Amino acid sequence: MNLNPDKLVVIGASTGGPGLIEYIIGKLQHINGSIIIAQHMDKLPLESFASRLGRIGDIEVVCAKDEKTLIENKKIYVLHDTSIITKEQNKKLYIEKNPNLGYYHPSIDHLLSSLVLHDELNFISIYILSGIGNDGMQGSCDIKNFIPRVKIVAQDEKSSKVYGMPRSLKEAGVCDMICSIDEIVDEIQKDTL
């Protein structure tokens, strides 16, 4: 069994996100760390989306549909429901379902805000992709205020299908970078070396 990751990448997306996420996963060669994907979508399509991502590349993809899912190094996790990151007494990190939180399904804000409690991670990078609304903005603000080793990236307007979520990060002044989808692929690959 792989150890807890010391690098965590979170990808949050809504409208226009599935195709962008498929593109990203298809380009990744190898990861040293874990990737957690929060894509706004109903539960049943999320399972097939996770399965489809698993067929795109060589990296194992897990649909986090159990009450608690252990986060292991070198894996990609697709949230099945609104979830938070918890740490058990064994010091292992878990994705724990908490479906009563948030308006969006799954909630990017609640996922990100839960990371504030896990400063043992050496590095966290957050990528907010195409989507309507502002999910991910409050969680990004929370994490930026408490964890020094965090990088927050918003997708640029030109490559976004819908520029709402990335725009909200830009307007809040919390993103470190604004990148095209191809630049995001490069950044994620660097983040997980």
Output the average pLDDT for the chain. 92
Report which of residues 104 and 17 the model is more confident about.
Answer: 17
Phi/psi for 154 (5° steps) reads -110, 140
Report which of residues 177 and 104 the model is more confident about.
Answer: 177
Task: Give the containing element (helix H, strand E) for 32.
Answer: none
HSE-up (13 A, CA, CB side) for residue 100: 0
For 7-191, CATH gives 3.40.50.180
Residue type, 149: R
Q: CA nearest 122: which of 3, 7, 23?
A: 7
pLDDT per position as a tens digit, 128-176:
999 999 999 999 999 998 887 899 999 999 999 999 999 999 999 999 9
The pLDDT value given to residue 117? 83
Domain ranges of the chain: 7-191
CA–CA distance, 151 with 9 (Å, rounded to integer): 9
Beta strands in the chain (DSSP E): 7-13, 34-39, 60-64, 68-70, 75-79, 83-87, 93-97, 123-128, 150-155, 177-179
- pTM of this prediction? 0.96
